[in-house]
Structures are given as C-alpha cells and as structure tokens.
Amino acid sequence: MSEPPVVLDDLALTDRRTGTPIIDGLSMSLATGTVTALTGGSGSGKTTVMKAMLGWLPDTIGHDRGTLRVASQQVLGLDAADVRALRRNQICFAGQDPGSALNPTQRVRTLLGEAGPDGKSVERVLTRVGLAPALLHRRPAQLSGGQQRRVALARALLRDTPILIIDEPFAGLDTRSRATVSELLRELAQQGKTILVSGHDLTTLYALTDKHVHLGPRRQATAAVTHTVDESSSPNLLTASEIGLDRGGRTVLSGVGLAAPGGCLTAVLGESGAGKTTLARILAGLEPTATGSMTLHERPVPLPGRRRDQHTRARIQLVPQNPLSTLNPCRSIGQILERPLTRTGIRRPDRAAAVTAALHAVELDPGLRARRPHELSGGQRQRVAIARALAYRPDVLICDEVTSALDPVTAETVMALLARIAADSAIAVIVIGHDLELLGRHCRHGILIHEGIRVAAGSVPELVPALSIALPATVPAPASGKN
C-alpha cells in the first residue's frame, strides 16, 4: 500500500528566540481524495504547520525532531532547487492574507493568467469560486476582501497540483460564498486531490471535511459580558447620508446612509462584494471621488481624507480586513504601536508601558513587541491592528471583518472588548462582518447593504430575515466517512 501524499510523524518545532514549543509531537496524514481540517486557537501554529509542508520555515523556527514527508520526500531536508520543484509540481498553498499576496498593479485577468494555461480556464475557475467574469478587469484594491480571497483560491486551483493547502478559505465570506467554496473543495477531493484547510468556522468545516486535527487545548466559550447603553439618549457621533461611489464607470455604492451612536457597536451587513468595505474606506477618507455628506459630532467632515485636518483624520480609525498589508514589515510590533502613541502626545519614558498596556488590551503577550508582523499569526496581526487604531484615541472605530481570522473564543473576547471600549470611552464602533450570531450578541442595530444599496436598517435580529432573502442559506451536505 502506497504512503499518503502528506505524512507528519512526531513533528516538533520550536521558537529559537525563546525556546517555546510551537508544535510538539504532531502526527497526522493526508490521504488522497480527502479534505482534512486543521483547527486551533489563534496563534496555535496552524499556518506554521501548513508552511512547513512547503518547506517554508523562517530561521526563527527550529526543527527539533520528527519527520514531514510530502510526495515521499523529506521536505525539511530538501535543498532550494528540490523545494522549488516540489512546490511547482506537487503542492500549492493559498494563504490567509490574499490582499498582501496579490500584486496590486495587476488586473485579475493577469493574476490568474500567470497560473492558468488559457483564457477559458481562467474564466471557468473564476466562475467556480463564485465570482463573475466581469471582475477580470479589476485590480485587487477594487475587490472586497472576500473576492480577493477567492481570486487567490482560483490562482491555486489553476496550478492544478495534486496537493492543495488553503489557510482560512472561509474568512470574510458570506453564507452563500462559503457554501460555493465548500462544494468546490468537496468536488476537487472527489476528483482525487488531497486538501488541507484551516479555519474557525467549525460548522462549515465539519460539514466539508473527512478528518479533523486540532492544535492546542480545546477552549470553551465563555458567556459574553453585555455593556448596556441607553441608545435613545446616546447621540450619533457619526452620520453619513447619500454616500455614493462610481469606479471605472460602474456604480459601487449609491445613496447609502448610516448613523453610529457613541457607546455601542453598529453593524454593517451584506454579502461579499456588496460594498461594505468601500463604505468603510469612504468613512475613513480613503476614497477621494466619493459623493454624499458626513458629520462627526454634528460638524461637517469632507469625504476625501486629503481635505481633512490631521486631528479629524486621527479621530476616525479603520482596522482593515488584511492587516498584513498595512503593518510595516520592517518594524517591530513595539515600533508600530509607538507611532500613534507618539502622535497622541505620550512621552518617550511612558511609551514602553503604554505599548504593554495596548497589547494587554487586545489579549496579546507583551513579549510579542519585539517581533515583526510576518512572525505573528493572522489573528495576532488582527489584534495588533486593533491596538494600533485604539492608540490614536479615536471617536469612531471602523472594524472591517476583525474577527474573521479568529477562533470563536477569541472572536467573542475581541467583540466583548470592543463593546467595553465603546461603552467606557463613549466612542462609536462600526463593525463589518458575516457572523450574524456574534454580531447579534454585541450590536443592537445596523444596516444591510445589497449590491451597493442600503436595503434595510434596524436591529441585527430584524436584519437577518432581509439578509436571508439576498443570501439563500445553502449549506453543503455532510461528507461521508467522517473520522
């Protein structure tokens, strides 16, 4: 009987800087024609394991013991030429930060054409991941986070290797898009591909996969602490009216309005590509051609950021979906957090303590301050981005899919943290997301955007039926042969 395409036997990896075990004695195998789920808390080592399968370990990670074989080759012992050949012929990887992996100067057609044999294959694969061929002429910055993620997946599929490794394929996707990707991956496995996926959407993963491997201890969710705010007496810190944007002759948003009171969380819902991120960018002053009007503390604010004074720009902070694309890769986490602290007047002798407090506030170990962004997990980077935004002491915090890369327990913790900060500091927090249960527990009201138009407003539970009309909640049938 032939060996499975991927075999890990008692694999142990250690952080060489601290001596801390990252992976301790992991044994698993990936069989041909199956989908395996790799789960665990944020920072548990999922991405490290996936990259190790490609022979892609940084110098800061040491290989203590155990073996890792891909296509019967000892990956961690291959020279550079053999690693390149392995990646070219046997295994392909789609990472969890597609925004930083897609060349921003190229259009989707070019990005896919690099991996695809012909134009027909490019269009066919794009359709299979649930995207319209009309997106082929756009650049990554003109796509939503969910669309970027599916373009990255399409690139991996066009490589057509027998082994496919996908890190967080469902993060930032709406219900319909998750179902589309799940059905596609199941179909590929049935055709003989070996697939490994990571993620935190356990419902989707359990329905899709044949086997489940969990890293680290299983954490139990704790009850959320609700911070009560009397919204009837809480003034709207930010209001936006008739917000619109045309891009490349296409209407992206039209006539969207939003009111965000202080002291609580406001939700923005909608399918992937509906215009949620575009709205967030407009509010943050990042779309110079946007139309409409906006006020902050009842005072008019210009929509283009270049027309806002420095104080106003600091008062509205955006936490993006893909933090790796906005965190300076040449600076340590401590240096990244020191910059806003400096701008807000924190004196040099007090900055070290302020950085420690900022990391504690988002439940990160202060020891991470010496690391650079690429040395953190996706969830850790997301929390650094939140800490950086809060360091500016904003009046309005816009969080774009900040929990999509977090495990359920950490996501609940982060949302509770945002609710507490909003209540304690009386700031307005706008949260974009797809996890309706999570948003429903922490956001009492919000808006629903569909195809660039606001179609409903009200409490999150009231918006769910309207969202289900726009997004039929289809869930792939459970795969047989569960382990």
Tens of pLDDT along 252-289? 999 999 999 999 999 999 988 899 999 999 999 999 99
Kindly state the average pLDDT of the residues 97-101: 78
pLDDT tens-digit series, residues 161-194: 999 999 999 987 888 899 999 999 999 999 999 9
Q: Is 224 within a domain? A: no
Q: What is the pLDDT of residue 405?
A: 72
The 3-state DSSP class for residue 369 equals helix
The amino acid that residue 303 corresponds to is: L
Q: What is the pLDDT of residue 372?
A: 92
Q: What is the pLDDT of residue 203?
A: 86
| DSSP assignment string, 312-332 | HHHHEEEE-S-GGGTS-TTS-
CA atoms of 126 and 112, how far apart (whole Å): 9
Let me know whether 139 and 45 are in one domain.
yes
Q: Is 462 within a domain? A: yes
Query: What angle do helix axes 145-159 and 119-128 make, rounded to 10 degrees?
Result: 130
Q: Is 483 within a domain? A: no
CATH at residue 183: 3.40.50.300
pLDDT at 229 over 60: no
Q: Is 259 within a domain? A: yes
pLDDT grade, residue 96 (50/70/90)? confident
Kindly state the average pLDDT of the residues 7-14: 96
Let me know whether 89 and 188 are in one domain.
yes
Domain end (from 215, 241, 268)? 215
Higher pLDDT, 30 or 421: 30
- Burial class of residue 349, CB neighbours in 10 A (0-12, 13-18, 19+): exposed
pLDDT grade, residue 219 (50/70/90)? low
Helix (H) or strand (E) holding 381: helix 378-391
Higher pLDDT, 322 or 230: 322
Task: Specify the number of domains making up the chain.
Answer: 2
Q: Is 480 within a domain? A: no
Let me know whether 205 and 315 are in one domain.
no
CA atoms of 471 and 444, how far apart (whole Å): 21
Residue 428's Cα: distance from chain center in Å?
22
Torsion of CA 456, 457, 458, 460, to 10 degrees: 70
pLDDT at 239 over 70: yes
- Burial class of residue 173, CB neighbours in 10 A (0-12, 13-18, 19+): buried
Q: Is 475 within a domain? A: no
Kindly state the average pLDDT of the residues 455-470: 78
Please tell me which of 230-234, 300-304, 404-408 the model is most confident about, judged by mean pLDDT.
300-304
Find the range with the poorest average confidence among 110-124, 215-229, 303-317, 432-446: 215-229
Let me know whether 205 and 345 are in one domain.
no
Q: What is the pLDDT of residue 330?
A: 92
Q: What is the pLDDT of residue 197?
A: 97
Q: In 3D, which of 123, 175, 179, 174 has the Cα closest to residue 151? A: 123
Kindly state the average pLDDT of the residues 134-148: 89
Q: Is 223 within a domain? A: no
The amino acid that residue 181 corresponds to is: V
Please list, in sequence order, all residues whose beta carbon lies within 8 angstroms of the beta carbon of residue 259, skipping any fewer than 6 positions away: 236, 238, 239, 240, 266
pLDDT at 221 over 70: no
Please list, in sequence order, all residues whose beta carbon lies within 8 angstroms of the beta carbon of residue 284, skipping any fewer than 6 positions away: 305, 316, 317, 318, 398
Domain end (from 169, 191, 215)? 215
Distances (CA, A) of 397 to 35, 162, 202, 368, 441: 38, 43, 28, 24, 19
Q: Report phi then psi at 94, rounded to 5.
A: -115, 115
CA atoms of 426 and 393, how far apart (whole Å): 11
CB atoms within 10 A of CB 247: 15
Q: What b-and-e string marks burial along 78-109, b requiring 16 or more CB atoms within 10 Å of the CB?
A: eeeeebeebbeebbbbbbbbbbbbbeeeebbb
Let me know whether 339 and 432 are in one domain.
yes
Helix (H) or strand (E) holding 51: helix 46-52
Find the range with the poorest average confidence among 196-210, 234-248, 407-421: 407-421
Kindly state the average pLDDT of the residues 333-344: 93
Q: What is the pLDDT of residue 378?
A: 77
Q: What is the pLDDT of residue 369?
A: 93
pLDDT tens-digit series, residues 57-76: 888 899 999 999 999 999 99
Let me know whether 176 and 208 are in one domain.
yes
Kindly state the average pLDDT of the residues 380-390: 90
pLDDT grade, residue 118 (50/70/90)? low
Q: What is the pLDDT of residue 90?
A: 96
Q: What is the pLDDT of residue 469?
A: 58
Q: Is 133 within a domain? A: yes
CA atoms of 112 and 407, how far apart (whole Å): 31
Let me know whether 181 and 272 are in one domain.
no
- Is the dihedral angle over the CA atoms 348, 360, 398, 401 positive or is it negative? positive
Higher pLDDT, 325 or 102: 102
Let me know whether 295 and 353 are in one domain.
yes
Q: In 3D, which of 124, 120, 121 has the Cα closest to residue 132? A: 124
Kindly state the average pLDDT of the residues 26-43: 93
Q: Report phi then psi at 190, rounded to 5.
A: -65, -25
Let me know whether 175 and 295 are in one domain.
no
Let me know whether 412 and 307 are in one domain.
yes
Helix (H) or strand (E) holding 24: strand 21-30
- pTM (whole model) above 0.85: no
Percent of the chain scored above 90 by pLDDT?
60
pLDDT at 451 over 70: yes
Q: In what order do the strands lie in the sheet with 61-70?
A: 21-30, 6-15, 61-70, 73-74
Work out the end-to-end distance of the chain between its first and last CA atoms, rounded to an integer number of angstroms.
Answer: 20
Domain end (from 162, 190, 215)? 215
Let me know whether 250 and 334 are in one domain.
yes
Is residue 159 within 8 A of residue 115, CB to CB? The reply is yes
Name the residue range of residue 124's domain: 6-215
Let me know whether 299 and 373 are in one domain.
yes
CA atoms of 123 and 112, how far apart (whole Å): 9
CA atoms of 38 and 131, how far apart (whole Å): 26
Helix (H) or strand (E) holding 11: strand 6-15
CB atoms within 10 A of CB 67: 15
- Is the dihedral angle over the CA atoms 347, 399, 443, 278 positive or is it negative? positive
CA atoms of 216 and 461, how far apart (whole Å): 34
